[in-house]
Amino acid sequence: MSLVEKRNIPISLPVTGLEEWEATKEPLMSGWITSGPKVREFEQLFAERHQVKHALAVTSATTALHLALVALEVGPGDEVIVPAFTWVSTANVVLYCGAKVVFADIDPFTFNIDPKDLAKRISSKTKAIIPVHLFGLCADMDEIKRIAGNIPLVEDGACAAGAAYKGTPAGALGTIGCFSFHPRKSVTTGEGGMLTTNDDHLAELMGMLRNHGASISEEQRHHGPKPYILPDFNLLGYNYRMTDLQGAVGVVQIKKLDQFIQERSKWAAYYSDQLKDLDWLRTPSFGSDYHHGWQSYVTFVDESKAPASRNQIMELLQERGISTRPGTHAVHMLNFYKEKYQIQPSDFPGAQAANDFSMAIPLHNRMSEEDFNYVVQVLKEL
């Protein structure tokens, strides 16, 4: 196809179709639409795939992170360390608990938290650390664990379903794992999230917290000997339950996860090979300890060598029908956090650079070989 022909390659598209549509018939026809057997099946499959004892479905990765901190009893007077380059909800959930957000800088080569900077941020008030497995690449969990000692680690694996570090899946690397099923993720339930843990007590606690604090689930009550008796409520909980409509879609999607990652890995390798001679564009690199989940393919634009600024390049690509995005944002540069904590962009230079120069290019399972060739062709012609 000639470059003059109009293209439209989205940054991401979910892979859903007849199988997912048919899966929703069962809860619709049975009348059990709220959290029930399909959510439970999805949880079991997710737990098996990620090698954890417990998986608990919730409404989003944000609510998963919130419940994780509540279960760890994070509250006023506590500090929680988060990377400065991540989606804003990683920091927001700390404030939901009344605690203080303490930012740590990131390694601009991996976009993940820099263990050396993390070590400087730990204090006697540090109640938890949230390492983010950004874009599907796990953080350096061995070094983070060494630095953290007994401080609980809440993995923000929103982008990292199916990813692994030294053979251990994301979600089994810390105290609690948190995942997202937003449509930009490799598997989706529309909105939705998952908690993972190997801790029986935390699993039981988070199970109650997501269901208003009820001592038993709605499904347990309805199928019990006295469904007309309401459960006791011993905790202040939340309504963070996933529906069985979403769970039914999740059951179908999770079975496709490894196929999706395999396809994305193939085309990520293609990008890296084809773009390696562009001295102004740094492509992702990582060691053999990491199994990348490839939620997205995020590059770094060196404006000292580039034909234009990062933003101008994104505009040029958009004109050619290729969608791009900054990798994500530096949370400390967002107005709310900048003003709340009186932070300067240069206080976290790695995150600032990632904010200003990262660029995600299209990588998803609905792209054709021709699409990938076209993206490479346009980037080379810049």
Q: Where are the domains of the chain?
A: 18-256, 258-381
Write down the CATH superfamily of domain 258-381. Answer: Aspartate Aminotransferase, domain 1 (3.90.1150.10)
What pLDDT sits at residue 224?
A: 62
Largest separation between any pair of C-alpha atoms in the chain: 71
DSSP conformation class of 14: -
What pLDDT sits at residue 233?
A: 87
What pLDDT sits at residue 1?
A: 46
Q: Distance between terminal CA atoms of the chain?
A: 17
The vertex-93 CA angle with 197 and 122, nearest 5°, equals 80
Active site residue 38: no
Q: By the 8 A CB rule, do 35 and 217 touch?
A: yes
CATH class of the region 18-256: alpha beta
Q: By the 8 A CB rule, do 348 and 105 touch?
A: yes
Give mean pLDDT in consecutive 10-residue pieces for the chain, a chain of 382 residues: 70 97 96 94 98 98 98 98 98 98 97 98 98 98 98 98 98 98 97 98 97 78 65 91 98 98 98 98 97 98 98 98 98 98 98 98 98 98 96
Helix (H, G, I), strand (E, B) or coil at 196: strand
For residue 267, CA distances in Å to 107, 283, 296, 363 come to: 24, 13, 11, 8
38, 100, 127, 185: which one is catalytic?
Answer: 185
Whole-angstrom distance, CA of residue 14 vs CA of residue 208: 31
Whole-angstrom distance, CA of residue 209 vs CA of residue 203: 10
Single out the residue of 163, 213, 210 nearest to residue 186, CA to CA: 163
The vertex-171 CA angle with 355 and 250, nearest 5°, equals 95
Whole-angstrom distance, CA of residue 227 vs CA of residue 222: 5
Question: Tokens standing for 288?
Answer: 């053999």
Helix (H, G, I), strand (E, B) or coil at 95: helix
